[in-house]
Structure 1
Amino acid sequence: HIYSFEPDERNFKILSEFVSKLPQEIKEKITPIKAGVHHENATFYMQGEGLGATLSAEISEQKIDVAAISDAINHIPTFIKMDVQTFETYALLGAMDDIISHKPKLAICIYHKFSDLWDIPLLLKLWIPDCKLFMRHYECTQEETVIYALPEAK
């Protein structure tokens, strides 16, 4: 089952419309969730617009709900992909128990904050020491660097 988190109202509407047009057998395997991801269920506010937009506790017109992944889904995760604009560590904390217990494959962006380059791989090795880590970079600029964590083959 696919759970797709999208906190932005406009993007969530596009996602929901796309899913609604899929064949029934595919559509029933996808659940769009109108929320961002974090270590706990909370509310933030959007500051700015477009690519420069960020979330903060400072009140603005656009309220954004966030959820802990483990609280929002009702399946054991087998693969988690994240590109959540500086919230990667918080989002991982919201899935920590599932990551430690079930060791899903992970693809986590590590370019939004400079410290993510080492903090996230170290965190993953702490939680799942037997995983293999692979880092890949997909652009000419600093964007699009991903750490992959794969469970040790048994």
Structure 2
Amino acid sequence: MKLPGKAMTVSAKAKTEYARKFCKAFELSGRPKFILGTNEYALSVAEHIDIDGYLNDFTQQKEFHGKPIIPIDDVPADALVLTAVVYRPKSARSRVKSYPFDSLDYYAFAKHTSLSIRDIEYWQGFQEDLETHAEAYQRLHDRFEDEESRLCFSRLIAFRQSYDIDHMESFNCREDEQYFEPFLNLKTSGEVFADIGGFDGKTTLQFIHHCPDYRRIHYFEPSAENMRASKRILSGIRDVEFHAEALSNHTGPVSFASDGSSSRVATDGEGLDTITAVRFDELVSEPTTFIKMDIEGFEHAALAGAEAHIRAYKPRLAVCVYHRPDDFRTVPERVLSYYPDYRVYLRHYMEGFTETVMFFVPPGLE
């Protein structure tokens, strides 16, 4: 892996020039202006620009924050359309490319606009960390177990640096495959699974599909609403222990924000609940064989609270590494300090910036 130089290809120059012209026209021209997508990223642009409306194929609503939602077929040919679909940017680009109007994805817009708009969540500070710890990133790149991991790593870093979704061309939305890769060598019987950040129970159902004769499942979900839904979905499933506590590096009360799939331990915000946090080492005594962890940026604290368990039993780990700008570097540093012989893999399961998982597999599972 090498940090990109300053030289630009003709194609890159042309894309940059187009993006700059689009941004200037979107900011200053009198052309009709629309945003594809109704989300916080779209709103951050609409705070500065008096747009004509929104486009959204997946809603029955007729307006969004005082502006109409219109069919894409009604957009005039001379319009400017900003695609603010940051989780599926390739799909959004494909949706608009057959129309005559000019369009630009949100990533390129964020890179080149003069407006103070919402930056991509979790990326702030990444470039500085990459430059400060370039050797550590290179060591990790070289440490990955397979070429697919190295390519994934390089493409994701290039995407974060350039905001160019062309670097994501090889990635697709495949969340239904997330966490369960062949190199884990999961067995059909005897596995003990810890689903940390269970949300809706679907990952546990996937685990059962792969390992039908499992020994036990430890299911962690601190959101009361999510836990109720999970218990309905997992009703009748054998040998599941439900844990309503948050996992951390200490035991005690913590503030918690309930927000569906983004529910998380939080230090600020409105409407926070107080829940109990515990250390994994105190709660689970039997050896686990596979731990999955997706807890919205609290992975480090949870890993610290599971240090003794990881050192003793060396379970497979699947840890989300996209919630904090330095996760690519600091999560493997932490895990490998517990057990340096882990084989490390990286996979990405979305077109956009979310759903990057780092895997740690102990040797000898073949």
TM-score of the superposed pair, with normalisation by structure 2: 0.38
Match of 2:246 among 36, 40, 48: 36
Deviations, residues 40-65 of structure 1 (Å, cap 9, x unaligned)? 22222234744665433559552222
Match of 1:73 among 259, 264, 284: 284
Aligned partner of 1:150 in structure 2 is 361
Aligned match of 1:141 in 352, 355, 360?
352
Give the match's secondary structure for 1:77.
coil
Structure 2 Cα separation of the partners of residues 14 and 136 of structure 1: 28
Q: 1:16-27, aligned counterparts within 5 Å?
A: 16-19=231-234, 21-22=235-236, 26-27=237-238
Structure 1: which amino acid aligns with 2:230? L
Say which is worse superposed, 111-120 or 123-132, in terms of deviation.
Answer: 123-132
Find 1:130's aligned residue among 341, 347, 350: 341
**Equivalent-residue separation in structure 2 for 1:109 and 1:141 (angstroms):** 14
Q: Which residue of 1 aligns with 2:321?
A: 110
Q: 1:47 and 1:15 mapped to 2: Cα distance?
A: 18
Structure 2 distance, partners of 1:5, 1:52, is 14
Quick one: distance in 1 between partners of 2:244 and 2:288?
19
Q: Which amino acid aligns with 2:231?
A: S
1:56 paired with 2:266, answer: yes
Query: Separation in 2 of the partners of 1:153 and 1:77?
Result: 16
d(CA) in 2 for partners of 1:36, 1:83: 12
Contact 2:264 2:295 in 1 (8 A): no
On the 8 A contact 2:346/2:359 being kept in 1, the answer is yes
Instruction: Assess, with a 3 A threshold, how the Cα gap between structure 1 residues 52 and 70 changes in structure 2: closer, same or farther.
Output: closer
In 2: Cα distance, 1:99 partner to 1:5 partner: 17
Deviations 1:92-121 (A, max 9, x none): 011101101111000000000011111011
Farther-moved stretch of structure 1 (97-106 vs 9-18) = 9-18
Q: TM-score under structure 1 normalisation?
A: 0.86
Q: Which consecutive unaligned segments of at least 5 residues does structure 2 have?
A: 1-215
Aligned match of 1:7 in 222, 244, 258?
222
2:254 & 2:278 partners in 1: Cα distance?
Answer: 11
- Provide Cα deviations, 1:108-144, integer angstroms capped at 9, x if missing partner: 0000001111101111222111110001111111111
SS at match of 2:350: coil
Higher mean C-alpha deviation, range 2-11 or range 53-62? 53-62
Letter in 2 for 1:113: R
Between Structure 1 and Structure 2, the one with more strand by share is 1
User: In structure 2, how many angstroms separate the alpha carbons of the residues matched to 1:76 and 1:52?
Assistant: 29
Where 1:120 maps in the other structure, the secondary structure is helix
The amino acid that maps onto 2:306 is A
> Displacement, 1:18?
2.9
Aligned length: 149
Structure showing greater Rg: 2
Counterpart in 1 of 2:256? 46
Q: Is the 8 A contact 1:8 1:64 kept in 2?
A: no
1:2–1:48 Cα change, 3 Å: closer
Query: Could you say which residue in structure 1 is the equivalent of 2:302?
Result: 91
CA distance in 2, matches of 1:32, 1:80: 15
Structure with more helix by fraction: 2
Which runs of 5 or more structure 1 residues have no equivalent in the other structure? Answer: none
